[in-house]
A and B are shown apart, each in its own frame.
Chain A
């Protein structure tokens, strides 16, 4: 990006999007600068709202993981094979089967839930992502 006084030059702008913005701005009687400023303000707002929400979700997931570890240590052997539902770091229910656990979690008003099988350790998996992800 190049900034010369009042003029800002931006590289790598999608030309199709640029043309659409220019034509909608013209229809509305906006200058392109005004339309872009509004678009950038909106982008910042959406970004901020999303990230706040996302951070809240991450915090809930972390609490749930801690609780799950505690529950696995406490009840893992006793209730081996049963399903536990932990939402926002709280133990909700221990169910006999997976379908019931899904129903219970799905009805929750929580931000985040983990459905886990008691007596099982947490495993890590690698998922290959293709080049298409980056385009």
Chain B
């Protein structure tokens, strides 16, 4: 499975297209920028988090996002499924009203073998890790 880098960033940034399962068990397509500096699963804007009904699938535990400047912010966190091609993962989706990014973090990325082909500006998922 291959995904072209996003040219909205300079230099272009690796991205993946996923289907996220909503509270009503529907599939919603999302483009996520690959961010290995983000340790969570998926980060989406709060407006989208609400639209997908993820406020209905929230977890008991509390998640605090630690900003690069060291300030903690309370994240809203739900457990959901993400589909990438024929791969399905149960991961945490986080959001915060002041964050407008759509990111795939290490909780999701570490479940796959990913090749970042910089010269071709292409991300390739070669396999799912056996766990």
Give the B-binding residues of A (Cβ under 8 A).
50-51, 53-54, 57, 61, 64, 68, 87, 102-103, 105-108, 110-117, 120, 122-134
Q: How far is the CA of A122 from the CA of B46 in the complex (A)?
A: 23
The answer to whether B113 has its CB under 8 Å from any CB of chain A is no
- Which residues of chain B come closer than 8 Å to A133, judged between CB atoms? 38, 65, 67-68, 99, 101
Query: Which of A127, A128, A131 gathers most chain B CB within 10 Å?
Result: A127
Q: How far is the CA of A112 from the CA of B50 in the complex (A)?
A: 9
Q: Which residue of B lies closest to A72 (CB)?
A: B60
Size category of the B interface is 35 or more
- Which residues of chain B come closer than 8 Å to A103, judged between CB atoms? 25
Among B23, B25, B75, the residue within 8 A (CB) of A127 is: B75
Among B25, B60, B64, B67, the residue within 8 A (CB) of A114 is: B60
The answer to whether B121 has its CB under 8 Å from any CB of chain A is no
Q: How far is the CA of A51 from the CA of B120 in the complex (A)?
A: 43
Q: How far is the CA of A54 from the CA of B23 in the complex (A)?
A: 18
| Chain B stretch 30-84: residues in CB contact (< 8 A) with chain A | 33, 35-40, 46-47, 50, 53, 55-69, 72, 75-76, 79
Q: B97 and A127: CB pair below 8 A?
A: no
**A128-B37 contact in complex given A57-B50, A105-B23, C-beta closer than 8 Å:** yes
Q: Which residue of A lies closest to B53 (CB)?
A: A106
Among B23, B25, B33, B68, the residue within 8 A (CB) of A131 is: B68
- Which residues of chain B come closer than 8 Å to A134, judged between CB atoms? 67-69
Q: A113 and B55: CB pair below 8 A?
A: yes
Q: B62 and A113: CB pair below 8 A?
A: no
Complex A-B: 23 CB contacts under 8 Å: A54-B46, A105-B56, A113-B57, A113-B58, A114-B58, A115-B58, A120-B60, A123-B61, A124-B64, A125-B64, A126-B64, A126-B66, A127-B64, A127-B65, A128-B38, A128-B66, A129-B65, A129-B67, A130-B68, A132-B33, A133-B65, A133-B67, A134-B69
Q: B53 and A122: CB pair below 8 A?
A: no
- Which residues of chain B come closer than 8 Å to A114, judged between CB atoms? 58-60
CB distance from A50 to the nearest CB of B (A): 7
Q: How far is the CA of A127 from the CA of B79 in the complex (A)?
A: 15
CB distance from B62 to the nearest CB of A (A): 5
